[in-house]
Amino acid sequence: MLATSPLAIGYPGFCLFRTPELTVQRGDRIAIVGPNGAGKSTLLRTLIGELRPLEGSIRYGNNIKPAYLAQEPQLDEERTILDTLLRRHAFSEEEARRFAARFLFEGDEVFKPVGALSGGERRRLALALLALERANLFFLDEPTNHLDLPSREALEAVLADFDGTIVFVSHDRYIIDRLATTVWAIEDGQLTVSLGNYSDYQQTRQRNVPAQPNERATRQPQATPPRRARSPRQIECALIQTERTIEELEARLHQLADELDEATARQDVEAVAELGAAYERLQEEIERAYAQWERLQDELAAVQVGSEP
């Protein structure tokens, strides 16, 4: 479906990493993983043609129709959920409402304007639109971002029903283990290919790392005072603040992406390098914020379970 020569990925004057020859076969489920700022999203944008590789080439096979889910999907803020679906597909209203319910938009929720949706709701709508694409190759950038547990289950159902090929960026180890048949791992300026899911990749990685003496092993562990459990209300407040932070960071990321595109178009190498570095740093902040959001979700779930009679 897709094949490349060895690639250099990044922005003019700013190489993030290099790859070997890559191939994507029908039915593959390829997870792109790596540390914050490694260039995972940049690779995805390069594969779909938004960016050019600094070196190398990408070749698509015949009859390939890709579809792309960005971290921040572009949606018409004025239209309702129902209008958005009806404009994308030849539904009757009843059919559109049944389809929306698959993505947890039920009853009068379909009349909400897109501009009033939360981050998770926007993500679910974008996934619904993706499912309507007559595509056989999905590119997904952090598909579980903003999603609560029911929304993640809806996502899993959609991807399980999809009989095409998926290349996705994610920091969600659970979804990688459930979906991936191959892992592309970016580390230390190189991409390596590992067959299997995330657990398989981790086992291979550990086998290839020589054992190191642990200088701290003989030290007496320091006792740490137990952390006082927070109340559900305190955790919910922290979640709300984290979600606001994520929205602000993603708005800045969208603005920075526009500036980067403009600098690339005018071939301003210095600006592209500077903006590219800023873009990667901001992605790191966003990934840290998402990790904090997930920790808070887990903490809230644990507290709620513990408080049940």
pLDDT (tens digit per residue) in 35-67? 777 889 899 999 999 899 999 999 999 989 999
Most confident of 1-10, 71-80, 208-217: 1-10
Dist. CA 123–CA 9, nearest whole Å: 27
Give me the pLDDT at residue 215, please.
46
Residue 209 has pLDDT above 70, yes or no: no
Give me the pLDDT at residue 53, please.
94
State the average pLDDT over residues 268-280: 81
Q: What is the DSSP letter of 105?
A: -
- The closest alpha carbon to 102, from 119, 81, 88, belongs to 81
Of the pLDDT bands very low, low, confident and very high (cuts 50, 70, 90), residue 204 is confident
Q: What are phi and psi of 195, to 5 degrees?
A: -75, 145
| % pLDDT > 70, the chain | 91
Give me the pLDDT at residue 282, please.
84
Dist. CA 117–CA 295, nearest whole Å: 23
Of the pLDDT bands very low, low, confident and very high (cuts 50, 70, 90), residue 210 is low
Give me the pLDDT at residue 306, please.
62
Architecture of the structural domain at 2-75+117-202 = 3-Layer(aba) Sandwich (3.40)
Give me the pLDDT at residue 222, please.
54
Give me the pLDDT at residue 212, please.
52
Q: Compute CA 135 distance to the chain's CA centroid, rounded to the nearest angstrom.
A: 19
More confident of the two residues 23 and 145 = 23
Dist. CA 14–CA 276, nearest whole Å: 7
Within a 13 Å sphere around the CA of 218, how many CA atoms are in the beta-carbon half? 2
State the average pLDDT over residues 263-290: 80
State the average pLDDT over residues 85-104: 92
Query: What are the structural domain ranges in the chain?
Result: 2-75+117-202, 232-304
Dist. CA 164–CA 162, nearest whole Å: 6
**Residues in Cβ contact with 27 at an 8 Å cutoff, skipping those fewer than 6 apart:** 163, 164, 165, 181
Amino acid at 99: F
What predicted TM-score, i.e. pTM, was given to this entire model?
Answer: 0.68
46: its two tokens: 């390069």
